[in-house]
Amino acid sequence: MGAWSGFGITFRTMFRKTFTQGYPQKGEEKITAPRYHGRHQLNRWPDGLEKCVGCELCAWACPADAIYVEGADNTEEERYSPGERYGKVYQINYLRCILCGYCIEACPTRALTMTNDFKFSNRTRELMIYEKDQLLAPLLPGMEEPPHPRRLGADEKDYFLGLPPTGQPDTRTGQPAAKEAEK
């Protein structure tokens, strides 16, 4: 009886329409959940400098040994990140990666995040190793391609708070609705 009931479930689901029925020919793409762990992205500061400081904590946290990071020192002539170091070489091998998210939890600067991109197929094994230029977030308007000096403040405190040169610190108390109700 058990084997026949299992076959019945299989037979019922064989002809069910799936979400991949028209993909990719008809252009119907699956919409992922907002917290889906997809392709990695190396983020930038608002002036365009990289957030990665080459600490290699993401590589140490990776249980599949899929991440390789090689750090280097910044100089005043060539500055790629606001700190003392930057990630000179950054590679993720997606043939090994299990998309667990331990690397993004280990990152102290929130330089590494995961996007919703789930298309990873390629024709060769070499193309499945993503290099730093493939992982870096695109430059947005107002950002400048590194290397360049820090542009977001006179000192490190202003820079890491993300204040633009003309910006003002946030002096709100956090309860504006309560103050307006008292008036």
**DSSP labels, 28-86:** --PPPPTT---SEEE-B-TTS-BS-----HHHHH-TT--EEEEEEE--SSS-SSSSSEE
On the question of pLDDT at 127 being above 80, the answer is yes
Mean pLDDT within 89-97 = 96
Binding site for [4Fe-4S] cluster: which residues?
52, 55, 58, 62, 97, 100, 103, 107
Number of structural domains, the chain?
1
User: Of 22 and 32, which is predicted with more confidence?
Assistant: 32
Residue 172: pLDDT band (50, 70, 90) is low
| Percent with pLDDT over 70 in the chain | 79
CA-angle at 145, arms to 140 and 146, nearest 5°: 130
On the question of pLDDT at 36 being above 70, the answer is yes
Spatial CB neighbours of 128, under 8 Å, sequence gap ≥ 6: 93, 94, 95, 120, 122
Query: Does 183 map to a domain?
Result: no
Query: Does 181 map to a domain?
Result: no
Q: Enumerate the β-bridge partners of residue 3.
A: none
Is the pTM higher than 0.85? The answer reads: no
Binding site: which residues?
52, 55, 58, 62, 97, 100, 103, 107
pLDDT tens sequence across 135-149: 999 998 888 999 988
Query: Does 136 map to a domain?
Result: yes
- pLDDT at residue number 57: 96
- pLDDT at residue number 178: 45
User: Of 72 and 18, which is predicted with more confidence?
Assistant: 72
Show the domain range for 42.
Answer: 29-161
User: Of 58 and 18, which is predicted with more confidence?
Assistant: 58
Q: Enumerate the β-bridge partners of residue 87.
A: 71
The conformation of residue 25, written as its DSSP 8-state character, comes to T
Query: Does 180 map to a domain?
Result: no
Query: Does 91 map to a domain?
Result: yes
Residues 96 and 156: their CA atoms lie apart, in Å, by 37
Query: Does 170 map to a domain?
Result: no
Cβ pair 68, 144 in contact under 8 A: no
Q: How many helices (H) and strands (E) does the chain have?
A: 6, 5
- pLDDT at residue number 160: 73
Domain with residue 126: its CATH number is 3.30.70.3270
